Amino acid sequence: MEISARAAQLTPSLTLSIDSKAKAMKAEGIDVCGFGAGEPDFDTPEHIKAQRSPRWEAGFTKYTPSSAFRSCGRRLPKN
C-alpha cells in the first residue's frame, strides 16, 4: 500500500511522543508527572482545593467532554 506524498510529509505528534516517553519512564519505576496528553495524572494540590467552589464539592474537577460545548453553544447569543 502506498501513501500520498502529502501524507508522507507528516511528522509524528510531539504530544504523543512525550506521553509515550512518560509512560515508559513510569514503567521503569521513575516518578513522573505526565503533562503530555490529556488530563494531569495527579490530584489537585491541597492548597488549591482549599479555595474550592461548590462545583468542586460536586466533583466537577475534570475536563469537559467536547460534546458539552455544543449544548453550551446553543445557549450563547448568536450575535
CB 18 within 8 Å of CB 37: yes
Cα 1 from chain centroid (whole Å) = 33
Q: Give the model confidence (pLDDT) of 33-67 as tens digits.
A: 877 777 666 777 888 777 777 777 777 777 766 66
pTM (two decimals): 0.43
Q: Give the model confidence (pLDDT) of 5-21 as tens digits.
A: 998 888 888 888 888 89
> CB burial class (10 A; 0-12, 13-18, 19+) of residue 20?
middle
